[in-house]
Amino acid sequence: MIEFPPGLILVLGALLLPFASGVVRSALALLLPLATLVAVWLVPDNAHVTVPFMGDMEMTILQWNPPTRVFATIFALMAFGGALFSLNQNRRVELPAAFVYAGSAICVTFAGDMLSLFIFWEMMAVGSTIVVWSGNTEASGRAGLRYAAVHFVGGAVLMAGILAHVFALKAGGVENPIELGYYAFGPGGFDALSFGGVGDIAPWLILIGILINAATPPFGSWLADAYPEASESGTVFLSAFTTKTSVYVLMLLFAGTELLIYAGLMMAVYGIVYAILENDMRRILAYSIVNQVGFMVCGIGIGTEMALNGAAAHAFAHIIYKALLLMSAGSVLYMTGKRKCTDLGGLYHTMPITMWCGIIGALAISAFPWTSGFVSKSMISQAAADNHLFLAWMILTAASAGVFLHAGIKFPWFVFFQKDSGLRPPDPPWNMKAAMIFFAGLCILIGVFYEPLYAILPFPAAAGEVLYQPYTVSHVVSQLQLLLWSGLAFFLLLPVLKRTLTITLDFDWLWRSFFPWLWRNLLRPLVTVLGWIRDVFFIEIKRLAAAFTGEEKTSGKGSIFREWSLGSAMVLLTFTLFIFLVVGFMH
């Protein structure tokens, strides 16, 4: 039986990877995720492992929470698929960093208290930043820095929220204030998110800290900024863990928080609008992550068992087909070195496997019947309908149509068809093909045999009952109508959808463009002027006065007023403090 967090297999195993090479390294890369997957399933149902923390408190590092099984399973599976896809690349740090990242994500799903959850949450930020940097380009270096800055600010906000709540709970006489149960704000709805009394800031800070990682606008521009700058294989890993871990944590803490319905709907629409305008194929897919996570966040906001099951199932399905789409795009990038739709097209001639796998991923993300997206996403829409949320249902349905438009057709069409770019690259190396075929198979397998997935959802069906029946004639016909007619819209609007060599400004404009501008044109001149004023008042006037009174020659007096360098001032200050300390101890 496993009595430790299974994610640690990946985290610690990652430290061995840099020392291995050749076959040993490949074997380790494939076996570590599989061992983790097995370990996840061997954790006993009543597992509860704690480690002492700061004397009187305990951190629970291993326990089952309702959504743990579905998320931990898919994270381990994803680490395996990603490792297979990246087997032929020779970047030394990328895969170990990705394993630390994936392993920490699995540890988050088993965390039983806020503090251990936070520690693994931050480890994910470190691992993923290194994955971005492994892109080994100047752009990835800068994007990684921005990525790290956003995530560590997000982490600080989350920590501030946790601390605020810990103090509030301590004041209320709670013994173990880091226990996860005290942080489930969800059922309180808007009441939990009020500004009524002391400690009410805590849920807000925690929510914002998580939403930053979930890529919710206006905090979400880091995703489309950083992910597409990573390497072909790096982006595949990145797409899976950060946002979905946030979905997991939101599900634990904020299930049923009405605000999340609107946040999710906004994400779904935002992702589509930006993806329609985008030219870089991997940025199209990055924006569509935001769109898909929007469906999950909306489901969490609805908060019924059906909605939460739908959100969890959708996270599971999404990780597979999104990774598949990014593998397809990554293969194209790997073989052609090009990433803009304007440079691509007509690749169906020589990359059939990449194309078909890309198309299967595209069908799955669009929730075509008999693909994984259909059996998961329809539960969220159904939950919205069951709760008579008319606006939410209308927007979710429109967004489902939009998914087919912006990712389902747009990505394969502009990369593999449309104009002939003249490029004739072959399909990628065997391991990349194998990873794609494996995930494409899963997309269809889950779409057809969905019961095993439904069985591990947070709220499984009672014995003898059916959790949800996705395949009714009405469902299939309405979904096909919705998708194929939006396909018609795509082809009717093709002349308008012409690719252009443009990007679309997002919130990261604030710190990439506006703040530097503010510094150059406002703050720096201001500081310069203040510097002049200081010079005039404190140096020039003194010198002038000295010249008039003839003091400057009497050097003995002048040295008392000589400006001290910062260094000697620090030495004196430290020494004084040291004396105080010694004197204090002697008493």
Contact residues for another protein, defined by CB under 8 A: 269, 272-274, 276-277, 279-280, 340, 342, 345-346, 385-386, 388, 390, 393, 397-398, 401-402, 405, 417-422, 473-474, 477-506, 512-513
Q: Give the whole-angstrom CA distance, residue 65 versus residue 49.
A: 13
How far apart are CB 345 and another protein at their closest, in Å? 6
Rank residues 425 and 487 by Cβ distance to another protein and give the closer one.
487
How far apart are CB 369 and another protein at their closest, in Å? 12
Rank residues 25 and 512 by Cβ distance to another protein and give the closer one.
512
Rank residues 445 and 482 by Cβ distance to another protein and give the closer one.
482
How far apart are CB 135 and another protein at their closest, in Å? 16
Q: Give the whole-angstrom CA distance, residue 444 versus residue 20.
A: 35
How far apart are CB 488 and another protein at their closest, in Å? 6
Nearest to 453 by CA among 104, 67, 1, 40: 67
How far apart are CB 248 and another protein at their closest, in Å? 29
Rank residues 463 and 488 by Cβ distance to another protein and give the closer one.
488
Amino acid 223 reads L
The token duo for 376 is: 């998961």
Nearest to 107 by CA among 157, 156, 56, 51: 51
Do the Cβ atoms of 249 and 117 come closer than 8 Å?
yes
Rank residues 246 and 400 by Cβ distance to another protein and give the closer one.
400
Rank residues 266 and 435 by Cβ distance to another protein and give the closer one.
266
Rank residues 512 and 542 by Cβ distance to another protein and give the closer one.
512
Q: Give the whole-angstrom CA distance, residue 75 versus residue 69.
A: 10
How far apart are CB 368 and another protein at their closest, in Å? 13
Rank residues 38 and 480 by Cβ distance to another protein and give the closer one.
480
Half-sphere exposure of 264 toward its Cβ, with a 13 Å CA cutoff? 34
Rank residues 306 and 324 by Cβ distance to another protein and give the closer one.
306
How far apart are CB 521 and another protein at their closest, in Å? 16
How far apart are CB 44 and another protein at their closest, in Å? 42
Rank residues 152 and 417 by Cβ distance to another protein and give the closer one.
417
How far apart are CB 385 and another protein at their closest, in Å? 4
Nearest to 313 by CA among 360, 375, 247: 375
193 Cβ contact list (under 8 Å, min separation 6) = 185, 203, 204, 207, 257, 259
Do the Cβ atoms of 240 and 322 come closer than 8 Å?
yes
How far apart are CB 265 and another protein at their closest, in Å? 13
Nearest to 244 by CA among 297, 196, 178, 308: 297
Cis peptide before 495 (omega within 30 of 0): no
Q: Give the whole-angstrom CA distance, residue 212 versus residue 146.
A: 13
Nearest to 280 by CA among 416, 411, 146: 411
Nearest to 93 by CA among 213, 231, 261: 231
The token duo for 355 is: 């194309």
Q: Give the whole-angstrom CA distance, residue 373 versus residue 393.
A: 17
Rank residues 99 and 287 by Cβ distance to another protein and give the closer one.
287
How far apart are CB 239 and another protein at their closest, in Å? 22
DSSP letter, residue 175:
S
Rank residues 233 and 382 by Cβ distance to another protein and give the closer one.
382
With 0-12 / 13-18 / 19 or more C-beta atoms within 10 angstroms meaning exposed / middle / buried, residue 35 is middle
Do the Cβ atoms of 280 and 254 come closer than 8 Å?
no
With 0-12 / 13-18 / 19 or more C-beta atoms within 10 angstroms meaning exposed / middle / buried, residue 516 is exposed
Residue recorded with tokens 């326990």: 63
How far apart are CB 305 and another protein at their closest, in Å? 18
Rank residues 56 and 138 by Cβ distance to another protein and give the closer one.
138
How far apart are CB 449 and another protein at their closest, in Å? 25
With 0-12 / 13-18 / 19 or more C-beta atoms within 10 angstroms meaning exposed / middle / buried, residue 484 is exposed
With 0-12 / 13-18 / 19 or more C-beta atoms within 10 angstroms meaning exposed / middle / buried, residue 91 is middle
